[in-house]
């Protein structure tokens, strides 16, 4: 009997994590992996490892050119459209999974797959916080109207500018960690809960070991951690008054209690230790190592984050894990994130409150 075919269109480390997890879970189906919208000279850092391993996918393809602009990008995408059409000539796809349905390539692939098989299902892969709080940038006139019109003119009227990630007309199903908490703009679509399949997570961990080894990170380092702090994009915390002081106080309190703390910056940070966390005694992990590859080895570790998908993912993988949101402001977005965390039994505390808990021996 011919297996049904699933194609995973991956453009971020989170999408890759879901692709791995679901492909391992649905072994009765043929799974194909496509890295979409990648930088030509710098694809996702585990791409080379996957090319060697391949499993659980039957094929892996790369679509790069993200760094291109204007006419050059248009020509490049047109060539990629032809590549996609050629690959689908001999392939009947039953499900297409993607986490960024704003992607021109992603929408084109879905359009062509549905043309070949009218019963093909477009499946949105949970993109983290945006799935639950919505994506504010999608409501800007520059994106909602101007950018949308330009893309329709450049590529075709089939392009649909979604009101938030996951809301485009090409998406039939939402595959989410917490479907009941999805944002209002996604309520009309059918939702399916992604299950944290234990055996699949173990297989993800096996691959993660190879990725970590390539980045000179040992699982022993992760096993030794009591706490891991995941930090946001520096552009975010650079705008928060007193952020450096709060992190310093937090790390000092952990050091005084001889608690082993690791810190991982957002990947865009590069190699610079912008908050000087190593001087405060923290173990600094390479920013380019994705949290998703670290996650399988944090079963006994307290994970602290702020407006980040990392804390949602840590809770999803292990319902008994200690996870905490570090609340840094009282703006509307922070309040909504705190409410979401409360629904998911994720502790919410200010940096000062966390310091108090550490001093009292509660952490």
In terms of pLDDT, which residue wins out, 344 or 48? 344
Which neighbouring-strand residues pair with 348? Answer: 325
Q: Stretch 172-188: mean pLDDT, rounded? A: 97
Alpha-carbon distance 325 to 63, whole Å? 35
CB 275 within 8 Å of CB 244: yes
pLDDT at residue 137, as a whole number:
61
CB 38 within 8 Å of CB 62: yes
Q: What residues contact residue 358 under an 8 Å CB cut-off, 6+ apart? A: 250, 253, 254, 257, 259
Share of the chain above pLDDT 70, in %: 98
Alpha-carbon distance 78 to 87, whole Å? 15
Q: Is 65 left (phi over 0), alpha (psi -120 to 50) or beta?
A: left
Report whether pLDDT(37) > 80.
yes
pLDDT at residue 139, as a whole number:
58
Q: Where are the alpha helices (DSSP H) in the chain?
A: 13-25, 47-53, 70-89, 104-116, 129-133, 141, 148-155, 198-214, 219-223, 234-237, 243-256, 291-294, 309-317, 332-343, 351-359
Residue 332 burial (C-beta neighbours within 10 Å; 0-12, 13-18, 19+): exposed
Task: Quote the tokens at residue 161.
Answer: 């500018």
Alpha-carbon distance 54 to 200, whole Å? 16
Q: What is the end-to-end Cα distance of the chain in Å, rounded?
A: 54
Report whether pLDDT(320) > 70.
yes
Q: Which fold has domain 217-359?
A: Rossmann fold (3.40.50)
CB 223 within 8 Å of CB 297: yes
Q: What pLDDT digit, counting tens, does each position of 86-143 carry?
A: 999 999 999 999 999 999 999 999 999 999 999 999 999 999 999 999 887 665 776 7
Q: For the chain, give the mean pLDDT.
A: 92
Q: What is the DSSP letter of 282?
A: P
Q: What would the CATH number be for the domain defined by 5-193?
A: 3.40.50
231 φ/ψ angles, rounded to the nearest 5 degrees? -105, 150
**pLDDT confidence band for 166 (50 / 70 / 90):** very high
**pLDDT confidence band for 52 (50 / 70 / 90):** confident
Q: Stretch 171-193: mean pLDDT, rounded? A: 97
Alpha-carbon distance 211 to 286, whole Å? 12
Q: What residues contact residue 252 under an 8 Å CB cut-off, 6+ apart? A: 280
Residue of 46, 35, 40 whose CA lies nearest to 10: 35
Confidence (pTM): 0.92
Q: What pLDDT digit, counting tens, does each position of 266-318 carry?
A: 888 888 999 999 999 999 999 989 999 999 898 789 999 988 899 999 999 98
Please count the helices (runs of H) and the strands (runs of E) in the chain. Answer: 15, 13
Report whether pLDDT(53) > 80.
no
Q: How far is CA 5 from CA 30, 97, 139, 194, 344, in A?
A: 5, 11, 34, 18, 33
């Amino acid at each position: 009997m011919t297996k049904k075919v699933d194609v995973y269109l991956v453009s971020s480390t989170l999408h890759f994590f879901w692709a791995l997890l679901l492909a391992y879970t649905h072994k009765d189906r043929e799974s194909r992996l496509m890295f979409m919208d990648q930088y030509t000279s710098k694809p996702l850092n585990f791409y080379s490892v996957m090319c060697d391993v391949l499993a659980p996918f039957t094929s892996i393809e790369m679509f790069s050119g993200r760094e291109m602009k204007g006419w050059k990008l248009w020509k490049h995408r047109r060539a990629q459209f032809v590549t996609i059409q050629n690959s689908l000539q001999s392939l009947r796809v039953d499900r297409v999974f993607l986490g960024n349905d704003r992607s021109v390539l992603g929408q084109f692939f879905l359009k062509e797959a549905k043309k070949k098989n009218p019963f093909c299902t477009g499946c949105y892969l949970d993109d983290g916080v945006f799935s639950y709080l919505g994506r504010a940038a999608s409501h800007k006139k520059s994106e909602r109207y101007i950018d949308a019109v330009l893309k329709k003119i450049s590529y075709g009227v089939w392009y649909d500018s979604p009101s938030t990630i996951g809301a485009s007309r090409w998406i039939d199903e939402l595959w989410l960690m917490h479907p009941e908490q999805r944002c209002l703009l996604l309520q009309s679509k059918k939702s399916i809960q992604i299950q944290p399949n234990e055996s699949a997570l173990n297989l993800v961990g096996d691959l993660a070991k190879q990725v970590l080894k390539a980045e000179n990170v040992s699982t022993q380092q992760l096993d030794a951690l009591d706490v891991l702090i995941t930090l946001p994009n520096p552009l975010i915390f650079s705008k928060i008054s007193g952020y450096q002081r709060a992190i310093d106080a937090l790390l000092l309190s952990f050091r005084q209690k001889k608690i082993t703390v690791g810190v991982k910056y957002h990947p865009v940070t590069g190699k610079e230790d912008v908050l000087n966390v190593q001087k405060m005694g923290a173990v600094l992990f390479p920013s380019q190592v994705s949290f998703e590859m670290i996650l399988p080895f944090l079963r006994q570790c307290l994970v602290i984050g702020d407006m980040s998908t990392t804390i949602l993912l840590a809770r999803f993988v292990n319902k008994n894990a200690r996870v905490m949101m570090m609340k840094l402001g009282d703006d509307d977005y922070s309040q909504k994130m705190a409410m979401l965390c409360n629904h998911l039994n994720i502790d919410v505390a200010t940096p000062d409150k966390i310091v108090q808990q550490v001093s009292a021996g509660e952490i």
